[in-house]
Structure 1
Amino acid sequence: MAYDAQAPLHSPPTGLAELEQRVRDDLACLCYPPANWVVPTRAESGEHVHDVVVIGGGMCGLVASFALLAGGIRNIRIFDRSPSGFEGPWLTYARMETLRSPKQLVGPAYGMASLTFRSWYVALFGNDAWAGLDKIPRPMWMDYLRWYRKVLALPVENDVEVGKILPEGDLMRLTLSGGGARETSVLARKVVMATGRDGMGHPSIPGFIDGLPRKYWAHSSDPIDFEPLRGKRVVVVGVGASAVDNAAEALEAGAAEVRHLIRRKEMPTINKLMGIGSFGFTAAFPRLDDARRWQIMNYSLRTQTPAPRGSTMRVSRHSNAYFHFDAAVKKVELDGEEIVIATPSGKTVRTDFLILGTGFTVDPLARKELDGYADKIALWQDRYIPPAGEENSDLGKFPYLADDFTFIEREPGTAPWLSNIHSFNAGAAASLGKMSGDIPGISEGAAILAREVAAKLYQENFDQHWQRLLDYDTPELRGDEWTASPLPDDQRTFVRKQA
């Protein structure tokens, strides 16, 4: 049964209130938020300088911000371009019925049981409902993230678009626009790009689509209106999760037929990385040498993560759904109002609308925020030459990041400000593993990010912190806790008497 966010809750009305009090109590026990310890910075103009600006108020941005605040870094701003409650993909282009991740994963809870999805769900629906829950409905996950933001009072500023991130001396200037922007730009010492799955690239648009008018096709991340597809023929390119979810939406909207065109010869069936996921894998991946990291990521990309079973059956239960394997798209032409798709086998497919389930491409050069210096960022293709047979041009475009999620200069000395920008998004996967985009490792990633940001901020102000040490003069003792006693004239005399 689909989750209805508007349906009444069958639970005691005090359930969520009690949980929220528990969260507050837990935070108080953890001394959250601690006092700000970062040395204030002022621009030469006197303009306020933020210690950290987080771009993105979705799951990654929320837990990253919580981790920073929990570490006593309180002079921060959080910007998201979406309206409040619609951050991330969950209520926009994500179209799966349920999450792939098992319900018990702690996600962004950051080590607090009271912040887990399970605690939130049980507070609303009870333990019996939790026991009967299979997978988390997608809209429900968004409701949980809304609650997470509210109960932690995270100061996300919505309807704020970050245009460019520009170096300005030792600082970074971010240009802002949108209805929620209070100023046209802000200064920051550190920037965290918590920009999600497409946050270090763009939707992958194959070249065969060139020349086809836009009204005849859409990418799976586009805001597609499926109702006009009723009675139409639809072709979906690909068979990954997004392709399958969009095919299901078209079928449920009444499409006459939906055909998957799949270049692979058979359906991928095994989610390889799920089989090795562990705390050890998350901790060790950034420490592996380049060859081993490439080996793992290249194997994962080549084997491809399959769509979830439930999502695939959501398509296959329709008699007018078709899966065509070994059917890559060679050429696309328009014949009147029909789209004609040629395949390498010589066969053609005619359709009315084309959906590209082709995922996202990681490409820092495409990010408007980095315009003017993205070519100075070191990529994996600049740092590692794989052995014959292991080449992967897509993987080579991932940024080659430092251990703190920051960019590294391709040529030393050409763009030193890159060490102030943290790529806490899907682009970090090749360098640090999946700690900044997927539910399983997001809290571990946020903890590493916050610790590394704190270390940099402290080191950069070491002289001031040293002076704080010298200047600190609050006494622990008042002077009335002891009485001074003179030493005896000859301690040896005392020893002989005792003997």
Structure 2
Amino acid sequence: MPNRESIAAPQGLAALEARLRQDIEWLALPGKAWTPQTERDGVAVLDVAIIGGGQAGMAASVALSHLGIPNVIYDQSSKDFEGPWATTARMETLRSPKTLTGPALGFPALTFRAWFEAQFGEQAWDELDKIPRMQWMDYLRWFRRVMHLDIRNEHRVLAVLPRADGVVELKLASPQGESSVLARRVVLATGRDGLGGAYLPPLVDKLPRARWAHSSDVLDYATLKGKRVGVVGGGSSAMDSAATALEEGAARVDLLIRRKELPRVNKGKGSGNPGLVNGHLHLPDEWKWRIRHYVNAQQVPPPSGSTRRVSRFANARFLLGTAIKDVAVQPDGSLRLDTNRGPLELDFLFFSTGFRIDWSARPEFAAIGQHILTWSERYTPPDGDEDAELADSPYLGPVFQFQEKTPGALPGLDRVHCFCYPATASHGTVSGDIPAISDGAYRLAQGIASLLYGEDVEYHYRNIEAYEEPELVGDEWTPSEWELPG
């Protein structure tokens, strides 16, 4: 630890932003636009449209801008409420180490640490354990402001329609009404449930909608005061939902966990090195599957702090080794669960059961879902290594692009790029989580730059031919007169 006299005092955000502006200026960023202006039937075409203004969408936008590729972000949320942090997330702190640089894209002055120290000082940083969730949201709001991102809030995508003429049409709904946008490339930066929604077990069909919620649902937890609450699952979202219910005065919270022991080791951390970040994409399919299936099967443990947040309540119960066999609604509206350990009566039930790819849950993708090549159609794992999440994942190209299940069935599908969690099977964890989001954003941006250049190579060649700015004007030298000897 540095001695107290050497610890830097807060310099303020104004000073940090001045430093960031200078860094960006010295690197001559953002890059000069170089793509040709494109129209279809008199309608201007965007180079890139990004769906989703959370940390993945913002990182992708900055990376594209740095390469001189104009882009626009569309997000269905209100301004400053993009992503889950201020809406459905319930954790007190992020689980990622505070030192991870996240979407900073190689700029020290754009990191969370720089933002934090500018306001609170170096000593406060040294004393910080984990990043508070809402402080991370405030950082992302600052990120948007200082990077001058073009985010169109309250724009919900109604349809993604690839076309054979080199563009993708987006149908949008906003407070101003419905509209259409054309883009040469579309990036789906739609988060954890980016290609589907919450996974729910079949027994949910037996329950009244007012008696259950998925942990990702928007819910007023104060309505659970005095009630008996069950939480299905033992991961981080289960702990967050359980703790929030307890803090809001639930009479009792039971965590129903099938495993006899909670997993203790986060195997995903064992893969966190630049080799895999950059190498996963290039591995044979059998190794991609083997690595991701192993991490999935081992499961990620809930954070220690989140678990202790629950266990400090005397009215919380960790019911390990408990599986639900059936559920019934009693005459008074309460729930009676039949478990392998006996009956359990509850007033409300949470499902902290994760997410799944489900095209039927996302009507905006109705035109593309049936055409997308998935891992199940390209790879058959060894017996015992089956994995529904991986099997359903899209089998992506090197620029995160969707590929057609049947070649030629939907021209233009490869103009849609999957920069959200379901890309993990093909690209590794570079498209949503904090640790390698900048690596993924640059991979995406560089790939799109290459594709755009290749499509327009004749245009760029004509520009080379037409370039006439001289570097020599002709008076820089005098020709010498001389003859070869005899």
Whether the TM-score (by the shorter chain) exceeds 0.5 is: yes
Using the TM superposition, give the Cα deviation of residue 416 of structure 1 relative to its aligned residue in structure 2, in angstroms: 2.7
Query: Which letter maps to 1:139?
Result: M
Q: Does 1:200 align with 2:195?
A: yes
**1:264 Cα deviation after fit:** 1.4
Which of the residues 211, 224, 227 maps onto 1:232? 227
* Counterpart for residue 242 of structure 2: 247
Residue 338 (1) aligns with residue 334 (2): yes
Q: Deviations over 1:167-216 (max 9, x none)?
A: 233211100102266x6111000000011111122111111110211000
2:278 maps to which residue? 283
Alignment counterpart, residue 18 of structure 2, candidates 10, 16, 21: 21
Aligned counterpart in structure 2 of residue 148 of structure 1, from 143, 152, 159: 143
Residue of structure 1 in register with 2:50 after alignment: 54
User: Is 1:167 paired with 2:145?
Assistant: no
Equivalent of residue 119 in structure 1, options 114, 121, 126: 114
Q: Which amino acid aligns with 1:381?
A: S
On the 8 A contact 2:161/2:368 being kept in 1, the answer is no
> Aligned ranges for residues 22-101 of structure 1 at < 5 Å?
22-43=19-40, 45-74=41-70, 76-101=71-96
Query: Counterparts of 1:408 and 1:364 in 2: how far apart (Å)?
Result: 16
Question: Where does residue 474 of structure 1 map in the other structure?
Answer: 469
Q: 1:426 aligns with which of 414, 421, 442?
A: 421
Report the secondary structure of 2:450's partner residue: helix
Cα offset, 1:230, TM superposition: 1.1
SS in 1 for 2:53: coil
Mapping for residues 360-439 of structure 1, pairs under 5 Å: 360-364=355-359, 366-439=361-434
User: How many equivalent pairs are there?
Assistant: 476
Instruction: Tell me, in whole angstroms, the C-alpha distance in 1 between the residues paired with 2:128 and 2:176.
Output: 38
Q: Distance in 2 between matches of 1:141 and 1:104?
A: 13
**Residues 358-367 or 102-111, more deviating:** 358-367
1:260 is matched with which residue?
Answer: 255
Deviations 1:369-393 (A, max 9, x none): 2213311101111110001111112
* Aligned mates of 1:179, 1:244 — CA distance in 2: 37
RMSD: 1.3
Say whether residues 1:492 and 2:467 are aligned partners. Answer: no
C-alpha contact 1:157 1:180 (8 A) present in aligned 2 = no
Classify 1:154/1:373 alpha carbon distance in 2 versus 1 (closer, same or farther; 3 Å). closer
Classify 1:277/1:361 alpha carbon distance in 2 versus 1 (closer, same or farther; 3 Å). same
Q: Deviation of residue 330 (structure 1)?
A: 1.8
What one-letter code is carried by the residue in structure 1 that aligns with 2:50?
A: V
1:251 alignment partner, SS class: helix
- Distance, in Å, in 2 between the alignment partners of 1:448 and 1:226 is 40
Q: Which amino acid aligns with 1:61?
A: G
Q: Which moved more, 1:81-90 or 1:331-340?
A: 331-340
Residue identity opposite 2:357 in structure 1: V
3-state SS of the aligned residue for 1:416?
coil
Structure 2 distance, partners of 1:246, 1:84, is 25
Tell me the distance in 1 between the aligned counterparts of 2:31 and 2:369.
Answer: 36
Match of 1:461 in 2: 456
Aligned partner of 2:39: which letter? R
Amino acid at match of 1:16: L
Q: Which amino acid aligns with 1:51?
A: D
2:3 paired residue number: none
Structure exhibiting the larger radius of gyration computed from Cα positions: 1
Q: How far has the Cα of 1:365 moved from its partner? A: 5.2
Counterpart-to-counterpart distance in 1, 2:381 and 2:357 = 18
Q: What is the rounded CA distance, in whole Å, between the counterparts of 2:289 and 2:103 in structure 1? A: 27
Per-residue CA distance 1:128-179 (angstroms, 9 max, x = gap)? 0000000000000000000000011111111111111112332111001022
The Cα offsets for residues 261-296 of structure 1, whole Å up to 9 and x where unpaired, read as 111121111110112201111011111111111111
**Contact kept? 2:227, 2:348, Cα under 8 Å:** yes
Correspondence 1:307-318 to 2 at 5 A: 307-318=302-313
Instruction: Return the match for 1:190 from 185, 189, 207.
Output: 185
Match of 2:323 in 1: 328
Letter in 2 for 1:341: L
Q: State the secondary structure of the residue aligned to 2:281.
A: helix
Q: Which residue of 2 aligns with 1:483?
A: 478
Q: Give the CA deviation at 1:229.
A: 1.1
Partner of 2:101: 106
What is the aligned partner in structure 1 of residue 296 from structure 2? 301
Deviation at 1:414, TM superposition (A): 1.3
- Inter-partner Cα distance in structure 2 for 1:301 and 1:118: 31
Runs of 4 or more, structure 1, over 4 Å off, are: none
Q: How far off its partner does 1:362 sit?
A: 2.3
Residues of 2 paired with 1:424 and 1:138: CA distance? 23
Gaps of 5+ in 2: 1-8
The one-letter code sitting in structure 2 at the alignment partner of 1:165 is V
Which segments of 5 or more consecutive residues in structure 1 lack a partner in the other structure?
1-10, 494-499
Give how far 1:417 is off: 1.1
Per the alignment, in what secondary structure is the counterpart of residue 100 of structure 1? coil
1:324-350 C-alpha deviation (Å, 9 max, x unpaired): 12212221210122101112x261111
Secondary structure at 2:192's aligned position in 1?
A: coil
Moved more, 28-37 or 60-69: 28-37
**CA-CA distance at 1:368 after TM superposition:** 2.2
What is the identity, as a one-letter code, of the residue corresponding to 1:42? E
- Give the equivalent residue in structure 1 for 2:5: none
Q: Specify the code of the residue in structure 2 equivalent to 1:15.
A: G
Aligned residues of 2:162 and 2:415 also touching (Cα < 8 A):
no
* CA distance in 2: counterparts of 1:167 and 1:281, whole angstroms: 32
SS of the residue aligned with 1:371? Answer: helix
* Residues in 1 aligned to 2:423 and 2:246: alpha-carbon distance in whole angstroms: 35
Contact (CA 8 Å) 1:158, 1:180: kept in 2 or not?
no
